[in-house]
Structure 1
């Protein structure tokens, strides 16, 4: 798959924020630059997986020239993030969770720029890698 431009933003009192001009709504953050870069790769993969599951077309990558021509992007640092090697078909599953846990998952996922499914996927992958 293609590489997409991610923009890293940093305010003095915040983490490193990451956004993707080609994927509005696909955002993430990290406390360190390395964490932000790692989270960018995960966020992009999850976002693309969601688009595929929803039957949406995956856009072609924009050029660096076009992205940086936008005034709001000029204070950001651009980096290339590879898209997933292949689009994997998402499969719907049904799970049962306590309501308060589900609300906590949704709140935390939103704060991380993820969907509920995306957060469960990231957490599960991390647990499996750590085992």
Structure 2
């Protein structure tokens, strides 16, 4: 099991937006807070269909990134997302 960190954004009256700092282009939305884990797993499934497996960065390293710090200052939160070990359609990074 790997744990990837999602940045969860939410503006009043809108869906929750999810992005993954370790995985450029990996994103999804959730209608409400309860849907965030399922949306995150779906985003990871789709991203890893065509990408090599990337080792997740520790949350402390993500939190210290300037771009992430700016998003946190604007009201986003970090959420760890557990993701199963790679399956047959995923390739291990070399």
RMSD in angstroms over aligned alpha carbons?
1.8
Say if 1:6 and 1:80, in contact at 8 Å, map to a contact too.
Answer: yes
Aligned to 1:117: none
Q: What aligned pairs does 1:109-128 form with structure 2 within 5 A after superposition? A: none
Q: Using CA pairs below 8 Å that are at least 6 residues apart, which structure has the higher relative contact order?
A: 2
The whole-number CA distance in structure 1 between the counterparts of 2:15 and 2:38 is: 14
How many Å apart are 1:34 and its aligned residue? 1.2
Say if 1:9 and 1:18, in contact at 8 Å, map to a contact too.
Answer: yes
Q: What aligned pairs does 1:1-131 form with structure 2 within 5 A after superposition? A: 1-51=1-51, 57-70=52-65, 71-74=69-72, 75-89=75-89
22-31 or 64-73: bigger deviation: 64-73
The whole-number CA distance in structure 2 between the counterparts of 1:87 and 1:73 is: 32
- In structure 1, the gaps of 5 or more residues are 52-56, 91-131
The whole-number CA distance in structure 2 between the counterparts of 1:88 and 1:72 is: 37
Which is richer in strand?
2
The whole-number CA distance in structure 1 between the counterparts of 2:57 and 2:11 is: 25
State the 4+ residue runs in structure 1 displaced beyond 4 angstroms. Answer: none
The whole-number CA distance in structure 2 between the counterparts of 1:63 and 1:73 is: 18
3-state SS in 2 of match to 1:5: strand
3-state SS in 2 of match to 1:82: strand
3-state SS in 1 of match to 2:50: helix
The whole-number CA distance in structure 1 between the counterparts of 2:33 and 2:9 is: 10
The whole-number CA distance in structure 2 between the counterparts of 1:69 and 1:19 is: 16
